[in-house]
Amino acid sequence: MQPKPRTLQILDLVTVLFFLAAVGMVFFYAPLEAVMGQVQRVFYFHVATAWVGMLGFLVAAIAGVAYLVKQDRKWDIVGLSAVEISLVFFFIAIVSGSIWAKPSWGTWWTWEPRLTTAAIVELVYAAYLLLRQGLEDPERRARFGAVYAILGFISVPLTFISIRLFRTIHPVVVGSGAAAFDMSPAMLQTFLFSLWTFSLVFADLLWHRIRLGRLAERVEALKLKIND
């Protein structure tokens, strides 16, 4: 087994440091928002996790195209890894959205376009995992996974547009607008820093997950060799 690459070790460390710094900034550097109070602090990580979620699905779609063109198994591992990580982050985004929604809109869940789209996207990629589960042949699993990741990603903007159209034509029950407050410079800095930090977290986890996928593949290969 190959030892953990040096760059990855460094990335792990940097990610942890950035994460601690981001937590520090959210709680101690960013000022208290006047209207919403403490709960507004969830905003920084809420947007950052949602951003990572979308980033992962973009990566999965690109990996899907790359797999179909190159037929190289490594792209399948990349696609699967990205979807798995993004599912978790998107879930965190949805939950933190709820936490924010409760005090500011008085309800745990609103059928706000972004939130609703997020829930549907979550289902698209849960279906992706179920599809993979139903297939034995690894090559077909990779091909179908790639196709579904691409289709899913294409459908996301259309879903968002349709829900948004729906909500603007119909009277909106609760207030719209997620970031309906003015950000002070310190808030903006914290916000951008969180985005950057979570991108690092994503890159780091993706690397680990891909490495895990490759190791699993090696185990599989060794097993086959023994049985031969």
Query: Is 61 within 8 Å of 35 (Cβ atoms)?
Result: no
Q: How many residues bind another protein (CB under 8 A)?
A: 39
Q: Is residue 62 close enough to count as binding another protein by CB under 8 A?
A: no
215 interacts with another protein by CB under 8 A = no
**d(C-alpha 150, C-alpha 82), whole Å:** 13
Q: Is 179 in the site for another protein (CB under 8 A)?
A: no
Q: Which residue, 161 or 179, has its beta carbon nearer to another protein?
A: 161
Q: Which of 16, 20, 99, 127 binds another protein (CB under 8 A)?
A: 127
Name the minimum Å distance from CB 211 to another protein. Answer: 17
Phi-psi region of 187 (alpha: psi -120 to 50; beta: other; left: phi over 0): alpha
Tokens of 153: 């990603």
Those residues whose C-beta lies under 8 Å from the C-beta of residue 8, and which sit 6 or more positions away, are 204, 207, 208, 211
Assess contact for 11 and 207: CB atoms under 8 A.
Answer: yes
Interface residues with another protein (CB under 8 A)? 68, 73, 120, 123-124, 127, 130-131, 133-140, 143-144, 146-148, 150-152, 154-155, 158-159, 161-163, 165-166, 169, 217, 220-221, 224, 228
